[in-house]
Amino acid sequence: MQRNSNTTCPYCGVGCGVTAQLEDDKVIAVSGDKKHPANFGRLCVKGTALAETLGDEGRLLYPQLQGRRVDWDQALGTLASRIRQAQAEHGPDSVAFYLSGQLLTEDYYVANKLVKGYLNTANVDTNSRLCMSSAVAAHKRAFGEDIVPCTYEDVEACELLVMVGSNAAWTHPVVYQRVEAAKRAGQRKRIVVIDPRRTASCDSADLHLQLRPGSDGHLFCGLLKFLADNGALDEGFIARHTEGWEAALEACAGLGISEVAAATGLAEEDLRRFYQWFTDTPRTVTMFSQGVKQSATGTDKCNAIINCHLATGRIGHPGAGPFSITGQPNAMGGREVGGLANQLAAHMDFTAEDVDRVQRFWGATGMASQPGMKAVELFDAAAEGRIKVLWIMATNPAVSLPDSARVRRALERCDFVVVSDCTAQTDTADFADLLLPAAPWGEKEGTVTNSERVISRQRQLVEAMGEARPDWWIVTELAHKLGLAEYFPYRSAADVFREHAALSGYENQGRRAFDISALAQLSDVDYAALAPRRWPLPAGGSRGELFSDGHFFTPSGRARIVRVEPELPTAQGKLLVNTGRLRDQWHTMTRTGRVPRLSQHRDFFSIALNPADAASAGFGEGDLVQLENPQGRVRGIANLDAGIAPGQSFVPIHWSGQFSAEARASGLIPALTDPHSGQPQSKFAGARLMPVTANCWGLLFSRRQYRPGELDYWSRIAVTGGYLTLLADGAASEAVYAELQAQLREAALDFATYEDSAKGDFREIGHREGRLEYALFLNPERAVLPERGWMSALGAESPEPGTVHNYLAGFSPDREDSGRLVCSCWEVGEAQIGRAIADGADSVETLGKALRCGTQCGSCIPELRELLARARDEQAA
C-alpha cells in the first residue's frame, strides 16, 4: 500500500518540507514538499537521500548499561538514582544536560523544564552554542529579544544580498537556489560574498571580498562609518527607534577605507564598490552565518552587521534586514524553549520576574535562579571533576566541541556519562556508561522551527525500531522515576507542544515577541495536521510584521546600536585553519556517512590548501599532510584549491574517529569563546603544516566497517554494499599488510592474494560463497592503486567460482570510468561530464539534458560551470 506523508527535513536550518513516499510502511523515497514555504518543492541532495539513511545499520536499539543490555525501567531507574546521589553529595550543579539542535522542540522543552524547574540547576546547554549563540546574543543586545527579522522571501526580494561567512550554496542549498532563481528571473539583484575562501557560493556573486579571516568586524564598522559619511543614514529611524548611535559611530571613527583595507587585506576599490552598493540599495539583506558567529568576537561581529541595518532603517521591511541563518534543523526551536544555559524558557531569561513567572507556570519544585554553564565551560567543569552526571542527547561533542582532547578527558573523568542517540557507535558513545536508544527522524512526532521562524511538523512515518523512544518520552519517564510524575503528565508530543505554546503566551501581553499561544489549544487532530506557521502567533491574533512599526523588545522599546570595537584574532602557527561543512555531508556523518552517493562528491578526509603553500612545502595534490598545533593534529589528503588564500587552509568538520584516523577538525581548535555568547571560535586557529611521508598507500573495500588500527591515515566512506577506506602509513606496505591481514582475515573466508614484495605491491581478496567480503590493495605509490570507481562498485560483484583472483588485477577492462562524482542526485561523474562536453554540451542546460546532472537539487551547478569554463579554456589554449 502506498501513501504520502509530509514532514520536515532533519538537516540544515533551511527547514525544507519534504514529502515521504511510503510503501508497506517503509519510506521508499523523499521529495520536496511543493507547498512548504521554505522550499516549495525544492530539495537538496542530502534531503533527497533521506530514505537511504533509514536502515537499521548501526542503530542503537536497546538501552545498555556499562555495555550490558538492560530494559528501560532499569536504565532510567539507574539514571534517576545517579542524579539524586550526585546532587545529594556534590550539589545541584554536579548534574548537566547537553542537548542538540537536532532535537525536536518537544524533546527540548521537556528536558529544559526538568533541569531548570526541578533539578535546581540551569546546567542545560546545547550544541546550538557552537552554531549560532553569537547571533542570539547579538539579537538580544540589538532587539531586546532573540528575533530573526527576515524570511526567505526577503532574500529573494532584496536587490543587494550580502552573504557573510556563508557558503549557502553548499550549506543551505535551497535558500541559495531561491536566490539564484530570483536573479536568473531577471530581477535586479546584486550578490556580494564575504568569505576568506572562494566557495561555490561565489559562483553567482557580483563581488567576492576575500577578506583576512576574522576581519568582518572591521569591514562592517567601516561600512557604518561610510554610510554615515555618505548620507545613507535614516536619521528619523535612528532618532525614533534606536539608542546608542553616537557611541557606536564614534567607535568606528578610525575606520576609513584605507584603515579597513589594511585590516581586511582587501583592495580599496573593492571595498568602495561594496560600500557604495550598500549605500545605494535600500532593499538589502545581509545574510550571515557560521563564518562570523564562530568567533571569539562573534557577537560583536553580528552586531556590527545589525548596526548597519538599524542605521539605515533597513529592517522590518520586505527585502531588507540582517538575516542570521542557522545551521541546524531546530536550533531555533531550541532557542524558543530556552535550551541554552543562559536562557530560561520561552524567550525568558533569569530576571527575578521571569524566574518567578516560569516557576508559577510550571509549579516548579526545584527552580534554577541563575544561568548555568555554557557548553565549553560545562565540559571544562567536567574535565575538572565537577560534573558527576552528564547526559548528552543527540549530539557528538567528542567530535564537535573545540579542543577535542580536553573534551575527551572530560568524558573520561565524568562519573556517569549518559548518551541518548539513534546511532550505536559514535566517538561520544565510546565514553558512555549508559546508552539510551532514541527514536530518529521518521520514527517520532514533534515540531521544528527553521531559520525564518516557521514552525513545521516532523511526523512519524514508520514504527520506532527496537526499543527506541522519542526523547521527550525518555525525559518524561525519568521525571517519573524522580517522583515528578504530576509535573510531567505527557502522553504525546502534542501534550508537550500545547504546554510550550501556553507558556509562550503566559503573562505575555505583547512583551515577548515569541508568542505562539494561538496554538495552545490545538487538538491532537489539529496538531497532527498542523501546517507550517511563522511566529509570532499570539492568541489574540497577529500584531503585524515584526519591527515594521519600529517597536523593539528592549525595556525602552528602542533597538540598540551596539558600540563595536573590532579586533583581529591571533593564532600561533604559520598556517591559519578554517573549518566548515561540505556539500553532501551532515555534522559527524552518523546519518549521511551511510549513504554511498553522499560520500562521492568529496570522498576521503582531505585538507584544502593553497597550491603555492603546497609547492613551497614540497608536496602536491593528493599527498598526505598534517596540520599540528598545541591542541592536536589532523592528517589528511592535500586538496589543492586556488580558492583558499595563501597561508590558509580549510578542514571539513565532519570526520570523527568512526570514519577516519586523525581527522577531527575541532582537535585543532582552542577552546576560545565569545565573552557574550560563549560560542567557540571554531573557524580560526593556527597550525604548522607539514607533509607526511607515506611509504604505503592502500584502498580497502569491505562489507564491514573497519577502523584499521594505528595507521597514520585512513578514511572511510560508504559505497554500494559496503565501505571503501583509503589508507596510508609511514611503514612499508609489507608491514601494513601484515597488520591489516590480521584484522581482515576470519574463519570461513577464502582468500586470494597478490604479492610483489620487491615493489611493495600487496593485494588480497576475501570472499565467501560467491560474495566479495573485502578487497585490499597496498602500494608505495598511490597512483598505482585501483581507480576509486572500480573499488566502489565491488559490492555489487558476485564472482564465479575460480575467477576471484581476477579482482586482484584492480581493474575490469570492460567497465567505463565515470570519474569523481559531481552530481550526487543523478550520480554523474566528472569523466562523464568531460565526455559530454567533448560531444558538444556547452552549457549547464545542455549538460542537464544529456546527463541529467544539475537538474535536481542544483547544488553541483557551480561545479558544472567550472568544468565548462575549464573545457573552454583548454580549447582556447
Partner 1 sequence: MSGRLLIVGAGMAAAYLLQELAKRPHRLQVTVVGEEAEACYNRVLLSNVLSGENSETDLDMLATAPASDDGNVAAAPRIITGRRITHIDSKLGVATTDDGERLAYDALVFATGANVARPPVDCTGVGGVREFRTVADTRELRALEATGRSAVVVGGGLLGLEAAHGLNALGFHTRVLHRNPVIMNRQLDAEGGRQLQRDLEERGLHFKLGAQIAALDTDTEGHIRGIQLDDGSSLACDLLLFATGITPNIALAQASGLATERGILVDEHLRCSEPGIYALGECSQFGDTCFGLVAPIREQAAVLAAQLGGESPAPFRLQDYPTQLKISGVEIYRAGELDDASEQILVHGSGVYRRLVIRNDRLIGAVLVGDKRGGTWYSDLISQGRDISSIRSSLAFGREESASQSAAVAA
Note the residues at the interface with partner 1 (CB under 8 A).
750-759, 761, 765, 767, 779, 784, 801-802, 804-806, 808-811
As measured in angstroms, the least distance from the Cβ of 603 to partner 1 is: 22
Minimal distance in Å, beta carbon 742 to partner 1? 16
The least distance separating partner 1 from the CB of residue 789, rounded to whole angstroms, comes to 17
Q: β-strands 750-756, 761-768: how paired?
A: antiparallel
Q: Which of 292, 56, 55 is nearest to 166 (CA)?
A: 292
Which of 561/778 has CB closer to partner 1? 778
Is the CB of 259 or the CB of 817 nearer to partner 1? 817
Angle made by CA atoms 127, 29, 816, in degrees to the nearest 5? 100
User: Based on CB atoms, which residue is closest to partner 1, 805 or 852?
Assistant: 805
Q: How far apart are CA 291 and CA 298, in angstroms?
A: 9
Which C-beta is closer to partner 1: that of 153 or that of 797?
797
DSSP letter, residue 787: P
Measured from the CB of residue 694, what is the shortest distance to partner 1 in angstroms? Answer: 18
User: SS3 for 804?
Assistant: helix
Nearest residue (CB) to partner 1, 526 versus 755? 755
Min separation Cβ 814 and partner 1, Å: 12
Work out how close the CB of 772 gets to partner 1 at its nearest, in angstroms, rounded to a whole number: 11
Q: What's the closest the beta carbon of residue 797 comes to partner 1, in angstroms? A: 14
Question: Quick one: 70 or 808, whose CB is closer to partner 1?
Answer: 808
For the bound state, the minimum distance from the C-beta of residue 712 to partner 1, rounded and expressed in Å, comes to: 23
SS3 276: helix
Helices (H) then strands (E): counts for the chain:
28, 34
Closer to partner 1 by CB, 25 or 756: give it: 756
Do strands 624-628 and 207-209 pair parallel, antiparallel, or not at all (unpaired)? unpaired
Least separation in angstroms between residue 800's CB and partner 1 is 11
Task: Give the separation between CA 703 and CA 719, rounded to whole angstroms.
Answer: 9
C-alpha cell belonging to residue 80 = 534517576
Our CB check for partner 1 shows the closer of 173 and 760 to be 760
CB distance 30 to 43 below 8 Å: yes
Q: Which is nearer to partner 1, 541 or 801 (CB)?
A: 801
> Quick one: 702 exposed, middle or buried, by C-beta within 10 A (0-12, 13-18, 19+)?
buried
Can you give the C-alpha Rg of the chain in angstroms? 27
Mapping DSSP to helix (H, G, I), strand (E, B) and coil, where does residue 471 land? helix
Note whether 206 and 190 are within 8 A (CB): yes
Within the chain, what is the greatest distance between any pair of CA atoms?
A: 86
In whole angstroms, the minimum distance from the beta carbon of 809 to partner 1 comes to 4
Gap between the Cα atoms of 111 and 51, Å rounded: 29
Q: Which residue from 447, 482, 428, 215 is spatially nearest to 334, judged by alpha carbons?
A: 447
Cell of 547: 519591527
Distance CA 319, CA 800 (A): 64
The residue with cell 532574500 is: 155
For residues 672 and 297, give the distance between their C-alpha atoms in angstroms, rounded to a whole number. 10
| Minimal distance, residue 746 CB to partner 1, in Å | 15
- Beta carbon nearer to partner 1, 271 or 699: 699
CA dist., res. 84 & res. 388, Å (int): 11
| CB closer to partner 1 out of 452 and 761 | 761
The Cα 526–Cα 530 span in angstroms is 6
Give 61 or 752: the residue with its C-beta nearer to partner 1: 752
CA distances from 699 to 658, 762, 790 (A): 17, 11, 11
Cell, residue 847:
549538460
- Residue 731: CB minimum distance to partner 1, A: 21
